[in-house]
Structure formats: C-alpha cells, structure tokens
Amino acid sequence: MSAARSDPDKPFGGMTLLIGSTNPLDRAEACAFVEAFTAQSPENVLADRQGAVTALAAFAHVAPRDLAGLALALQSETRGAAGDEQLDPQVRGLTSSMQQMCASSR
C-alpha cells in the first residue's frame, strides 16, 4: 500500500504526491486517485498541462497495468494536443475510460 492518499482538493487529485514513490498502488487506491483526478478534469489539465503530464507519469509508475496504460495515453494526448478544443474531448474520453475500468472492478 502507498503512503500517499488521493485528495480531490489537490491539483490532479493528489497524483503529484506519488512522484518518486516505488510502492505500487492496489486497485482500490488507484481508483481513488482516478476519482479524485477526474473530479477536476479537464479543467486542471487544461490549466496546467505540464503539471498533468508529471502527475500522470507518477500515477502510471505505481498504478495497476490497465490504469497505467490509460494514464500514459492521457499523458501523451496532453503533451501532444495542439489546443484546448482538441484536448478537452480526449481528456474526457480517457478519464471516462479510467472511471469505467474502476467501476467494473468493484
């Protein structure tokens, strides 16, 4: 179990607290971060793309494989989107997929 806890009041749901962590998240912990992250998306991602890229990389490093893959896809989209109008639907779609994965595992 990770010492870091998700926090919907922190930017990116507290994912930046995972930077440098080597403790893998279990499914419930990872899904708590997903929920906290999506509560603020896409607004936080659009406002601070570099912060989002960093937070998603930290999460992907310790998340279960399927959620890590979606986090890396979202990180790639965030890094590569030309403008907010292009990024917004991508953020919504990928965060929705992460939420669905978490819901199906309950």
| Minimum mean pLDDT range among 8-12, 55-59, 84-88, 91-95 | 84-88
Amino acid in the structure at residue 51: G
* Helices and strands (H, E) in the chain, number of each type: 5, 0
Banded pLDDT at 3 (limits 50, 70, 90): low
What is the arithmetic mean of pLDDT over 52-77? Answer: 93
* pTM score, whole prediction: 0.86
Give the closest residue to 31 by CA, choosing from 54, 17, 53, 13: 13
The reply to whether omega before 42 is within 30° of 0 (cis) is: yes
Amino acid in the structure at residue 61: H
Q: How far apart are CA 79 and CA 23, in angstroms?
A: 26
